[in-house]
Structure 1
Amino acid sequence: MSKPLPARLLHVTIERSIGDVYRFAANPENMPKWASGLSKGMRLIDGKWFADTPEGKLEVRFTPFNDFGVLDHEVVLASGVSVFIPMRVVANGNGCELTFTLFRQPGMSDEKFNEDTAWVTRDLEALKTLLEA
Protein backbone atom coordinates (compact mmCIF):
# COMPACT_ATOMS: atom_id res chain seq x y z
CA MET A 1 0.00 0.00 0.00
CA SER A 2 1.41 3.41 -0.92
CA LYS A 3 1.80 6.38 1.39
CA PRO A 4 -0.79 9.16 1.15
CA LEU A 5 0.19 11.93 -1.25
CA PRO A 6 0.65 15.44 0.13
CA ALA A 7 -2.44 17.49 -0.73
CA ARG A 8 -3.73 21.04 -0.74
CA LEU A 9 -7.39 22.00 -0.48
CA LEU A 10 -8.11 24.97 -2.70
CA HIS A 11 -11.46 26.70 -2.65
CA VAL A 12 -13.50 29.68 -3.71
CA THR A 13 -16.77 31.09 -2.46
CA ILE A 14 -19.12 31.71 -5.37
CA GLU A 15 -22.09 34.04 -5.01
CA ARG A 16 -24.38 31.89 -7.12
CA SER A 17 -26.70 29.02 -6.21
CA ILE A 18 -25.24 25.56 -5.75
CA GLY A 19 -27.51 24.30 -8.54
CA ASP A 20 -26.26 26.88 -11.03
CA VAL A 21 -22.62 26.24 -10.14
CA TYR A 22 -22.97 22.47 -10.18
CA ARG A 23 -24.80 22.36 -13.53
CA PHE A 24 -22.18 24.62 -15.13
CA ALA A 25 -19.12 22.91 -13.64
CA ALA A 26 -20.47 19.38 -14.27
CA ASN A 27 -20.75 20.03 -18.01
CA PRO A 28 -17.44 19.01 -19.64
CA GLU A 29 -18.08 21.39 -22.54
CA ASN A 30 -17.80 24.32 -20.09
CA MET A 31 -14.37 23.38 -18.74
CA PRO A 32 -12.38 25.25 -21.41
CA LYS A 33 -14.19 28.45 -20.35
CA TRP A 34 -12.44 28.42 -16.97
CA ALA A 35 -9.85 25.61 -16.80
CA SER A 36 -6.93 27.16 -18.67
CA GLY A 37 -5.13 23.84 -19.19
CA LEU A 38 -8.12 22.76 -21.27
CA SER A 39 -8.53 26.03 -23.14
CA LYS A 40 -8.09 24.34 -26.52
CA GLY A 41 -11.30 22.42 -25.96
CA MET A 42 -13.02 19.24 -24.91
CA ARG A 43 -14.36 16.71 -27.39
CA LEU A 44 -16.66 13.74 -26.97
CA ILE A 45 -15.35 10.84 -29.08
CA ASP A 46 -17.04 7.44 -28.98
CA GLY A 47 -18.55 8.17 -25.57
CA LYS A 48 -15.28 9.37 -24.01
CA TRP A 49 -14.20 12.94 -23.27
CA PHE A 50 -10.84 14.14 -24.53
CA ALA A 51 -9.11 17.41 -23.70
CA ASP A 52 -6.70 19.17 -26.02
CA THR A 53 -3.93 20.18 -23.61
CA PRO A 54 -0.35 21.44 -23.85
CA GLU A 55 0.65 17.77 -23.28
CA GLY A 56 -1.52 16.58 -26.18
CA LYS A 57 -4.92 14.89 -26.27
CA LEU A 58 -5.77 13.42 -22.85
CA GLU A 59 -8.80 11.47 -21.75
CA VAL A 60 -10.84 13.00 -18.93
CA ARG A 61 -13.29 10.81 -17.02
CA PHE A 62 -16.09 12.44 -15.04
CA THR A 63 -18.20 11.37 -12.10
CA PRO A 64 -21.79 10.90 -13.28
CA PHE A 65 -24.20 13.78 -12.66
CA ASN A 66 -25.40 13.50 -9.05
CA ASP A 67 -27.40 15.24 -6.33
CA PHE A 68 -24.47 15.57 -3.92
CA GLY A 69 -22.29 18.24 -5.57
CA VAL A 70 -19.54 15.76 -6.46
CA LEU A 71 -17.51 16.97 -9.45
CA ASP A 72 -14.66 14.48 -9.27
CA HIS A 73 -12.77 13.75 -12.45
CA GLU A 74 -9.73 11.83 -13.56
CA VAL A 75 -7.19 12.81 -16.18
CA VAL A 76 -5.43 9.98 -17.99
CA LEU A 77 -1.94 11.14 -18.91
CA ALA A 78 -0.14 10.08 -22.10
CA SER A 79 1.89 7.68 -19.92
CA GLY A 80 -1.34 5.91 -18.94
CA VAL A 81 -1.12 7.19 -15.37
CA SER A 82 -4.44 8.50 -14.03
CA VAL A 83 -4.55 11.64 -11.90
CA PHE A 84 -7.61 11.74 -9.63
CA ILE A 85 -9.06 15.20 -8.97
CA PRO A 86 -11.66 15.40 -6.20
CA MET A 87 -13.88 18.44 -6.49
CA ARG A 88 -17.02 19.37 -4.52
CA VAL A 89 -19.56 22.14 -4.44
CA VAL A 90 -21.59 22.71 -1.26
CA ALA A 91 -24.25 25.25 -0.40
CA ASN A 92 -23.36 28.28 1.69
CA GLY A 93 -26.40 30.49 2.17
CA ASN A 94 -27.51 31.74 -1.26
CA GLY A 95 -24.06 30.95 -2.65
CA CYS A 96 -21.72 28.00 -2.44
CA GLU A 97 -18.20 26.80 -1.74
CA LEU A 98 -16.24 25.01 -4.44
CA THR A 99 -13.36 22.87 -3.17
CA PHE A 100 -10.63 21.29 -5.29
CA THR A 101 -8.15 18.81 -3.81
CA LEU A 102 -4.73 19.06 -5.45
CA PHE A 103 -2.51 16.05 -4.85
CA ARG A 104 1.24 16.37 -5.17
CA GLN A 105 2.19 13.70 -7.66
CA PRO A 106 5.13 11.36 -6.99
CA GLY A 107 8.44 12.95 -7.98
CA MET A 108 6.92 16.44 -8.21
CA SER A 109 9.24 19.20 -7.04
CA ASP A 110 8.21 21.86 -4.52
CA GLU A 111 8.42 24.43 -7.31
CA LYS A 112 6.10 22.45 -9.62
CA PHE A 113 3.61 21.80 -6.80
CA ASN A 114 3.54 25.53 -6.03
CA GLU A 115 3.10 26.34 -9.74
CA ASP A 116 0.19 23.87 -9.99
CA THR A 117 -1.36 25.36 -6.85
CA ALA A 118 -1.19 28.86 -8.35
CA TRP A 119 -2.57 27.60 -11.68
CA VAL A 120 -5.57 25.85 -10.11
CA THR A 121 -6.22 28.86 -7.89
CA ARG A 122 -6.32 31.12 -10.99
CA ASP A 123 -8.69 28.68 -12.69
CA LEU A 124 -11.03 28.60 -9.69
CA GLU A 125 -11.02 32.41 -9.59
CA ALA A 126 -11.84 32.41 -13.34
CA LEU A 127 -14.80 30.10 -12.68
CA LYS A 128 -15.98 32.38 -9.87
CA THR A 129 -15.70 35.47 -12.10
CA LEU A 130 -17.53 33.77 -14.94
CA LEU A 131 -20.40 32.58 -12.76
CA GLU A 132 -20.79 35.81 -10.81
CA ALA A 133 -20.96 37.98 -13.96
Structure 2
Amino acid sequence: MNSADTHSRHLSVRIDRTVDDVYAYASDPANLPAWAHGLGGSIENVDGRWIAESSPMGRVVVAFAPRNALGVLDHDVTLPSGETVYNPVRVIAGGSGSEVVFTLRRRPETSDDDFERDAGAVAADLARLKELMEAS
Protein backbone atom coordinates (compact mmCIF):
# COMPACT_ATOMS: atom_id res chain seq x y z
CA MET A 1 0.00 0.00 0.00
CA ASN A 2 2.66 2.56 0.99
CA SER A 3 6.20 2.88 -0.28
CA ALA A 4 8.47 3.02 2.75
CA ASP A 5 11.03 5.18 0.94
CA THR A 6 8.58 7.96 0.02
CA HIS A 7 8.09 10.19 3.06
CA SER A 8 8.15 13.61 1.45
CA ARG A 9 8.40 15.30 -1.91
CA HIS A 10 9.57 18.80 -2.78
CA LEU A 11 7.38 20.53 -5.35
CA SER A 12 8.39 23.90 -6.69
CA VAL A 13 7.60 26.60 -9.18
CA ARG A 14 9.67 29.51 -10.47
CA ILE A 15 7.84 32.83 -10.50
CA ASP A 16 8.99 35.89 -12.40
CA ARG A 17 8.40 38.22 -9.45
CA THR A 18 10.54 39.25 -6.51
CA VAL A 19 10.66 37.23 -3.32
CA ASP A 20 9.06 40.16 -1.49
CA ASP A 21 6.14 40.32 -3.94
CA VAL A 22 5.47 36.58 -3.84
CA TYR A 23 5.87 36.36 -0.08
CA ALA A 24 3.57 39.33 0.56
CA TYR A 25 0.81 37.79 -1.56
CA ALA A 26 1.17 34.15 -0.55
CA SER A 27 1.53 34.88 3.17
CA ASP A 28 -1.85 36.62 3.32
CA PRO A 29 -4.42 33.93 4.22
CA ALA A 30 -7.17 36.01 2.58
CA ASN A 31 -5.52 35.23 -0.80
CA LEU A 32 -5.57 31.44 -0.34
CA PRO A 33 -8.88 30.80 -2.15
CA ALA A 34 -7.45 32.39 -5.33
CA TRP A 35 -4.53 30.01 -5.60
CA ALA A 36 -4.66 27.19 -3.00
CA HIS A 37 -7.77 25.32 -4.09
CA GLY A 38 -6.73 22.39 -1.89
CA LEU A 39 -7.85 24.52 1.04
CA GLY A 40 -11.22 25.32 -0.49
CA GLY A 41 -12.96 28.19 -2.18
CA SER A 42 -13.32 30.47 0.82
CA ILE A 43 -11.56 31.36 4.04
CA GLU A 44 -12.42 33.78 6.78
CA ASN A 45 -10.85 35.15 9.91
CA VAL A 46 -12.98 34.13 12.88
CA ASP A 47 -11.75 35.41 16.23
CA GLY A 48 -8.15 35.51 14.98
CA ARG A 49 -8.23 32.04 13.38
CA TRP A 50 -8.35 31.45 9.62
CA ILE A 51 -11.10 28.94 8.86
CA ALA A 52 -11.83 27.32 5.50
CA GLU A 53 -15.34 25.91 5.61
CA SER A 54 -15.51 24.50 2.10
CA SER A 55 -12.23 22.61 1.86
CA PRO A 56 -12.29 19.12 0.29
CA MET A 57 -11.39 17.84 3.77
CA GLY A 58 -14.26 19.66 5.48
CA ARG A 59 -13.85 22.58 7.91
CA VAL A 60 -10.15 23.22 8.49
CA VAL A 61 -8.18 25.80 10.45
CA VAL A 62 -5.08 27.25 8.79
CA ALA A 63 -2.31 28.84 10.87
CA PHE A 64 0.72 30.41 9.18
CA ALA A 65 4.14 30.99 10.71
CA PRO A 66 4.52 34.60 11.81
CA ARG A 67 5.55 36.98 9.02
CA ASN A 68 9.30 36.94 8.61
CA ALA A 69 12.13 38.16 6.41
CA LEU A 70 13.24 34.63 5.50
CA GLY A 71 10.41 33.69 3.14
CA VAL A 72 9.04 31.01 5.46
CA LEU A 73 5.39 30.26 4.65
CA ASP A 74 5.06 27.19 6.83
CA HIS A 75 1.51 26.53 7.90
CA ASP A 76 -0.46 24.06 9.96
CA VAL A 77 -3.78 22.75 8.73
CA THR A 78 -5.97 21.36 11.49
CA LEU A 79 -8.38 18.81 10.05
CA PRO A 80 -11.93 18.14 11.24
CA SER A 81 -10.58 15.10 13.13
CA GLY A 82 -8.36 17.39 15.20
CA GLU A 83 -5.19 16.12 13.51
CA THR A 84 -2.79 18.90 12.52
CA VAL A 85 -0.78 18.60 9.31
CA TYR A 86 2.43 20.65 9.11
CA ASN A 87 3.24 22.04 5.65
CA PRO A 88 6.74 23.49 5.12
CA VAL A 89 6.83 26.13 2.37
CA ARG A 90 9.58 28.56 1.37
CA VAL A 91 9.86 31.48 -1.02
CA ILE A 92 13.49 31.77 -2.07
CA ALA A 93 15.44 33.97 -4.46
CA GLY A 94 15.96 32.49 -7.90
CA GLY A 95 17.82 34.69 -10.33
CA SER A 96 15.70 37.72 -11.17
CA GLY A 97 12.60 36.06 -9.73
CA SER A 98 11.77 33.63 -6.99
CA GLU A 99 11.01 29.99 -6.37
CA VAL A 100 8.29 28.62 -4.12
CA VAL A 101 9.12 25.22 -2.63
CA PHE A 102 6.42 23.16 -0.93
CA THR A 103 7.45 20.04 0.96
CA LEU A 104 4.63 17.53 0.77
CA ARG A 105 4.86 15.19 3.73
CA ARG A 106 3.31 11.79 3.41
CA ARG A 107 1.15 10.75 6.34
CA PRO A 108 1.52 7.09 7.39
CA GLU A 109 -1.97 6.05 6.27
CA THR A 110 -1.66 7.64 2.81
CA SER A 111 -1.73 5.22 -0.13
CA ASP A 112 0.57 5.63 -3.12
CA ASP A 113 -2.38 6.79 -5.26
CA ASP A 114 -3.53 9.33 -2.67
CA PHE A 115 0.00 10.68 -2.27
CA GLU A 116 0.24 11.15 -6.05
CA ARG A 117 -3.14 12.94 -6.05
CA ASP A 118 -1.95 15.19 -3.21
CA ALA A 119 1.24 15.98 -5.14
CA GLY A 120 -0.80 16.82 -8.24
CA ALA A 121 -3.05 19.12 -6.22
CA VAL A 122 -0.06 20.96 -4.73
CA ALA A 123 1.54 21.31 -8.17
CA ALA A 124 -1.72 22.75 -9.54
CA ASP A 125 -1.90 25.21 -6.62
CA LEU A 126 1.67 26.34 -7.27
CA ALA A 127 0.92 26.76 -10.98
CA ARG A 128 -2.08 28.97 -10.10
CA LEU A 129 0.10 31.06 -7.79
CA LYS A 130 2.61 31.53 -10.63
CA GLU A 131 -0.14 32.51 -13.06
CA LEU A 132 -1.66 35.03 -10.65
CA MET A 133 1.68 36.57 -9.69
CA GLU A 134 2.96 36.90 -13.23
CA ALA A 135 -0.32 38.37 -14.52
CA SER A 136 -0.28 41.26 -12.07
The answer, yes or no, to whether TM exceeds 0.5 is yes
The equivalent residue for 2:11 is 10
What's the TM-score once normalised by structure 1's chain length?
0.93
Paired positions, count: 131
Once the two structures are aligned, what percentage of the paired residues are identical? Answer: 46
> What's the counterpart of residue 96 of structure 1?
98
- Residue 69 of structure 1 aligns with an amino acid whose one-letter code is G
For residues 66 and 74 of structure 1, the distance between their equivalents in structure 2, rounded to whole angstroms, comes to 16
Local SS of the residue matching 1:78: coil
**For the residues of structure 2 that align with 1:110 and 1:27, how far apart are their CA atoms?**
32
Extract structure 1 runs of 4+ deviating beyond 6 A: none
| Structure 1: stretches of 5+ with no match in the other structure | none
CA contact (8 A) 1:5 1:105 kept: no
User: Relative to 1, partners in 2 of residues 1:57 and 1:69: Cα closer, same or farther, differing over 3 Å?
Assistant: same
Using the TM superposition, give the Cα deviation of residue 106 of structure 1 relative to its aligned residue in structure 2, in angstroms. 1.3
Distance in 1 separating the partners of 2:63 and 2:122: 18
SS in 1 for 2:121: helix
Query: C-alpha separation between the residues in 2 aligned to 1:70 and 1:79?
Result: 26
TM-score, L = length of structure 2: 0.91
Measured on the aligned residues, the alpha-carbon RMSD in Å equals 1.6
Matched residue type, 1:55: M
Q: State the distance in 2 between where 1:50 and 1:69 align.
A: 23
